[in-house]
Every structure is written in structure tokens, then in C-alpha cells.
Amino acid sequence: MELGRLTSMLKLILNDNQLSGGVPQELGSLIELEYLDLSTNNLSQSIPSSIGDLAKLHHLNLSKNKFSHGMPIQLGMLLQLSVLDLSHNILAGEIPTDFSSLDSVVTLNLSHNDLSGVIPSSFVDLRGLEFVDISNNQLSGPIPNNKALQEAPEEALQGNNGLCGNATGLVLCNNSIGEKKHKSKIGSIVVYIILPTVVGAIVIASSGIFFTLLRRKKCEQTEEGDMQPKEFELHTISIFDGKLFYEEIIKATEDFDDAYCIGRGGFGNVYKAKLPSDDLVAVKKLHTPADGEWSTRKELLNEVKILTEIRHRNIVKLYGFCSHSQHSFLVYEYLERGSLYSILDNDEEAKKLDWSKRLNIIKGVAHGLSYMHCDVSPPIVHRDISSKNILLDDEYEACISDFGTAKVLEINSSNWTAVAGTFGYVAPEFAYTLKVTEKCDVYSFGVLALEVIQGKHPNNLIGCLLSPVIREGRMLGDLLDDRIAPPTDIVLVELTTVFKLAVACVHANPRFRPTMYDVSQIESKSPIKGRDR
């Protein structure tokens, strides 16, 4: 079948085959395509200019091929793109200035190519950018005033001898040697994902601590001594000044004294730590496992390795896992306002959560879940979306947390698992099928959205909402949280849309629930961006 005839195709995944030659221009005929992965092949020649015709594309991975020549300027036409990976090719020339139009891009990887020239100043317009890697090219000049670039880890910028600027590992752009910023770095880190539900939090200042998250290495590559990992630790990350950082955590928490404890959970307790740099981090000290429990943690580790690579504004950032002979702990982002549940449960705090903020919280969770389901390969299902696992920063931006029960979906697996999740948020089919799908998260999201609108968990209301005799418009007026002022007409229009989406998400039959990508796209079209009007 000719490629150009597949005009209704939504996903094209041909990674890790032995494809060779050039990509035909007919690729541009797949106008409905949303997801394209041609990575890890032997494809060569130029990236076809017709790729700019794929207006609905939100994920593009052409990494680990032999594409050459320059980056086509038509890439700047992909306005819905959130993930762009062109790494490990032999692309040459300059980065197109047209990239400034890609304001939806969250992840950008151009590493290991032959790109030269300066980074376009238009990068300052890429406000959605969370993760960037431009290492091992021939780029030069100052890095633009972009948060993702300026806060990028050293390994994401290295290998470009001419770069300068206010970022880790770079000299200042005054032609002097310049003193590189001192940043503390994590010691003996293990890729482990148990992001706890935190009861309080912080926004980490960019000038403070820098966590080195390099490629995974075997345990025997770590330093010897007190920081030596235990046998159960299957994967580690390079050490740099780990002992110093470990001592800073111990001192900041007074050896994990209860006075610094801000949360308790099944895997460990959460502590607030203020480092000598005045930066605050959340530290989860893991409980010492009983005999027979290491196998469970090893299974978690196998699924969690990929989670350390997640970078999204609506997903709490895991910085690493430090292993020591006496203590093992996770270090991660700490968000100032705590959990959504704690705010909704407090009348005074709930009154500060106007309708605009509530709508933005719902949108943020939708965007984060859409990223996990559609932009990560293989997809990740959270399995425990609830108001206690949604954390808010000082601007009420929502972040998904607590990945202790997260499940990486394997394409050729049944994906059966034990029951997990919070009562009242678990999809009804999961209780008797034990099969994990993205639609489990969709259901939980629907419950959460209704909770934000109502100001409390919907409980038995969900069954009533699915009744065809209930009109959504009239029902919505009865549901609105009366602790805050009624919404304006403009806000009410959007609330109605979100309410209808939430009702669709809690449909008893998972086949009739929308995908999180669909939900995210519909909510992105909302005209409401700032405070309540």
C-alpha cells in the first residue's frame, strides 16, 4: 500500500527496524497524523520538507538515524508539536529561526548532530519548553534568555565549545574565564520512582542546586566507600560530590528528625530540607524493607527507569534517588501550596481558588496526563489520580505527583496488575478486570474535575450524572461550589464544556470515554487564560 493513501492514519510507529534510504515526500499526505516515530533506523538524506504539512502532529521522533543536510524550516509550521527529537543524526547548518512559532514544544532534543552557528534569539518565545538537549554540536554564542536553557543540566549543553551564558557548565559571555556557578550535586543516585504525596512544598530556585542525571550505569561503576550502593540497586547514575550532598541533607533535616516531617506514606516519610544554598527540597526517606520486599522494589525499578526522563510543567519533578549505607531517599520538587485536597478541604483556602484558577488546575492535570499517555513511549498510566496527588505551586499551577503505583504499558503484554488507586477515583472496570489502560486514568480525571467544580468529592453523584434524564446545564448550576462567587457568563460557558467532558470521562463503559489527548485539546481552545473575569 502506498504511504500517501493512508490519509486517515493517526499514529505511525516504525522505530527500531532496519529501514534505510530517504523518507518520501508523500509523508506529507498523512494530514491526520498526530504521532510519528521513525527512530533507531538507518534512514538518510534530508528530512522531507513536506513534514510541515502534518499540521496535527504533536510527537515527532526521528532520532538515531543518518539524516543529513539542514533542518527544514517547515518544522516551524508544526504548531501543535510538543515533542521533537532529532538527536543522533548528522544534521548540519543552523537552527532555523522559525522555531519561535513552536510555542507548544515541551521537549526538544537536537543533541549529537553537526549543528553550528548561534542559538536563535527567538528561543525566548518557547515558553512551554521544559526539557532541552543541544549537546555535542558546534553551536556558539550566548544562550537565549529561556528558562529551559538556563536551567538545563550541564550534560545537555556540553560539547559546544563556543557556547556561553548564565547556565551550569558555561563561561559568562564577557570573554573572561568567568567563575562557573557552584551547584551542589546529588550523590549515588538510583533511578527509582516513588513520588510521594507531599503536604507542603516549594519552587526550587534556578540558582541553587544542580542535580546530575546522566545515563544509567551499572552499580559497579559507582564510587567505593560509604556511598557504595547495595546489591538490590540495579541501576545508578554518575556520582559527583555525592558525599557532600548527602551530609547537607542529613544536616538540614537533623538526621530526619520528626520536626521536619511533612508527610507520611507506605514507602516512606517526607521531609522538608533547606540546603546551605537556601534552596528547599522535598526529601522522601524510604522505609527499610522487610525480608521478601526487595523483589517488589525491583519490579518497580524496571518500570520506573523511564519516569526519571519525564519533563512536563504539570508533572512534579523527580531529581533522583540517593543511596547510602544508613539512609536511602528521594529528592524531588517541592510545591509551596501543597495538595489540591488540602485546599478544597479548607474553607478559607478554597475561597482563594476562584473559577479561573480551578479551570486552569483541571487543564493542567489534563495536559500532564495527555503527555504521559501520548508523548511517552511506552505510555504510562498513573493509576492513582486524586486530589491528594495533585500539588499546587505558588501560582496554583497543578502538578501530578505520587507515581508509586504508576504502570508502564507494554504493547505485547496483558498489563494485568494488582488493585491500586484511591477509593472513589478507581475506574469501575478495573475492580474486576485488573487490566490497566489509559482509560483508568481518564475515569479518575473525570472524578477529579467534578470534585474541583463541586468543591468536594462527587461520591454517589456520578451515577446520577450518567442518567439521560438529567440536563447538564441545569445540573451544573446545582453543583457549583457555593463558597466562591458565581462565575461570569464567559466563565460559565467554559465550565459547562469542562463539566460535559468530566461526565464523559466517568462513563461506565471505558470505550465511550474520551482520551486524555482529546480532553487536553478541547480544553486548550479555551479563551480563559488569566484570572476570573
Q: Kindly list the catalytic residues.
A: 384
Which residue type, as a one-letter code, is found at position 351?
K
Of the candidates 345, 332, 380, 376, the one whose C-alpha atom is nearest the C-alpha of residue 196 is 332
* C-alpha span between 386 and 390 (Å, rounded): 7
164: left (phi over 0), alpha (psi -120 to 50) or beta: beta
Which residue(s) pair with 11 in the sheet? 35
Parallel, antiparallel, or unpaired: how do β-strands 236-237 and 189-190 relate? antiparallel
- Residue 205, all three cell numbers: 530556585
Which residue type, as a one-letter code, is found at position 190?
V
Q: Is 285 annotated as a binding residue?
A: yes
Which residue type, as a one-letter code, is found at position 218?
K
Of the candidates 462, 458, 464, the one whose C-alpha atom is nearest the C-alpha of residue 505 is 462
390 membership: H or E segment, kind and range: strand 390-392
Angle at 272 between CA 330 and CA 182, to 5 degrees: 75
Q: Do 48 and 28 contact (CB within 8 A), yes or no?
A: yes
Which residue type, as a one-letter code, is found at position 307?
L
Distances (CA, A) of 296 to 299, 301, 408, 434: 5, 9, 15, 18
State the binding site for ATP.
285
State the binding site.
285
